[in-house]
Amino acid sequence: MTDLTRLTAAETAAAVASREVSAVEVAQAHLDRIAAVDDRVHAFLHVDAEGALAQAARVDAGELTGPLAGVPLALKDVLCTEGVPTTAGSRILEGWRPPYDATVTARLRAAGVVVLGKTNMDEFAMGSSTEHSAYGPTHNPWDLDRIPGGSGGGSAAAVAAYEAPLAIGTDTGGSIRQPSAVTGTVGVKPTYGGVSRYGLIAFSSSLDQAGPVARTVLDAALLHEAIGGHDPRDSTSIAAPVPPVVEAARQADVRGLRVGVVRELTGDGYEPGVQARFDEAVQALVELGATVTAVSCPHFVHALPAYYLIAPSEASSNLARFDAVRYGLRVGDDGERGLEEVMALTRAQGFGPEVKRRIVLGTYALSSGYYDAYYGQAQKVRTLITRDFTAAFAEADVLVSPTTPGVAFPLGAKLSDPLAMYRQDLATIPSNLYGGPAMSVPAGLSDGLPVGLQVMAPVQRDDLLYRVGAALEAARPFAPTPLQWETA
């Protein structure tokens, strides 16, 4: 009998639509898989078995149809789900059940997608390893002693461990693409504004973007199409149709496409094995008919420091809402303490050290006398990075680089060195500052661990990512995850 957890999302949807298998059977198979392995992977913070089976039954009854009807999905715990715990990986929201669905959640439900539960993440999406979750780290299915990336390590690990064929992540500085790179999955950050942020618990409002995680490029495209499109409840939502991403994924043709290799995102600072797999993937694009040239984006070297002023500044504003009054944790309210003391006690206990570090940094950058010197200068650098992208896209249709400087590192290896942790996002941050779409697609293995190739495209040309990704996927098929620990 076919193992239903090994099917792609497209295969699963076709099997459900043809009634070869029921959506309830598919959902149960994945719930059983989670029960069997998630004690070791820890991809999920909450499994909603009752809700998943009820949604699957609606698909079987013909109430819900669509290209992904009946396909299970793991949802990052930063998107609101009505009546289902939503914590953003933080103690300050432990047990909170939102009274409404995020737009992404609502669109998934309307499409007949079966949400299995909520996945682990770095607290408030602040981290590169999922070790900053208040609920413990997630483990990389390729090696349980290594990180699965961050902040969306739970979503990527769930897909890599066959707990779900699809997942939703969010990407503020690489939090979809970086986990996908180190877990051998496909991860996409859509164009900023291409997917609604309504109901997404905000970290950095000018950078946050939800997007798909999958095991194939076509599956990612199908999910992208399901969640994308204009939303009047999000003032930053683009009033334009979703680019033809599914058509592009099925086209898988790069003949005549101009591919630019970003000089500043290769070479020094990248592990030899990562660089070698990247070079091989670029050569494959040449053999597939693309024209490859080197391009320079000189201000990309300033992206990391600019990001770590802009994002914490916006976070210090967004996280001010966690005040022990409106919702969430409330500590020390004994009737004798004043509001300010209760607020201080709640935040001290509810926020973890990385979140506190970024709030302090952001508040300082926004403070009187320092705003222009720090936040204002960072925004000017952001403009220069945008100009770099504009100039590069005059020479090339897409840009490519390694997704990460190295493969997945051991758990705990960088926790005591925040700067070393931040450098994991060197290659991914520029696209967030620009607002354009970017994808990580598997590019092979280095020392037995996955390597990702990043593709970046102009704003609202998300379809170009899928053309390149699908062509590479067809030319260089990626080996399935070797889960030796299952039988160890």
Residue 185, both tokens: 């999955």
Residue 35, both tokens: 């029960």
User: For residues 6, 11, 14 and 18, what is the CA-based torsion angle, rounded to 10 degrees?
Assistant: -50
Question: Residue written as tokens 């099925």?
Answer: 250
> In sequence order, which residues have a C-beta less than 8 Å from that of residue 51 and are 6 or more positions away?
84, 115
Looking at the DSSP assignment, which residues form a beta bridge with residue 445? 450
- 3-state secondary structure (DSSP) of residue 263: helix
188 and 195 in contact (C-beta within 8 Å)? no
Active site residue ranges:
76, 151, 175
Rounded distance, CA 367 to CA 358, Å? 14
Rounded distance, CA 170 to CA 313, Å? 19
Closest CA relative to residue 108, chosen from 57, 48, 168: 168
Q: How far is CA 82 from the centre of its chain?
A: 21
- 3-state secondary structure (DSSP) of residue 208: coil
166 and 73 in contact (C-beta within 8 Å)? yes
Rounded distance, CA 143 to CA 159, Å? 15
> In sequence order, which residues have a C-beta less than 8 Å from that of residue 96 and are 6 or more positions away?
85, 86, 87, 327, 328
Please spell the DSSP secondary structure of 405-442, one letter per residue.
SSSPPBTTSSTT-HHHHHGGGTTTHHHHHHT--EEEEE
Closest CA relative to residue 431, chosen from 256, 262, 272: 262
Q: How far is CA 369 from the centre of its chain?
A: 35
Rounded distance, CA 470 to CA 467, Å? 5
Rounded distance, CA 133 to CA 144, Å? 17
Q: Which helix (H) or strand (E) holds 449?
A: strand 449-456
Rounded distance, CA 338 to CA 254, Å? 64
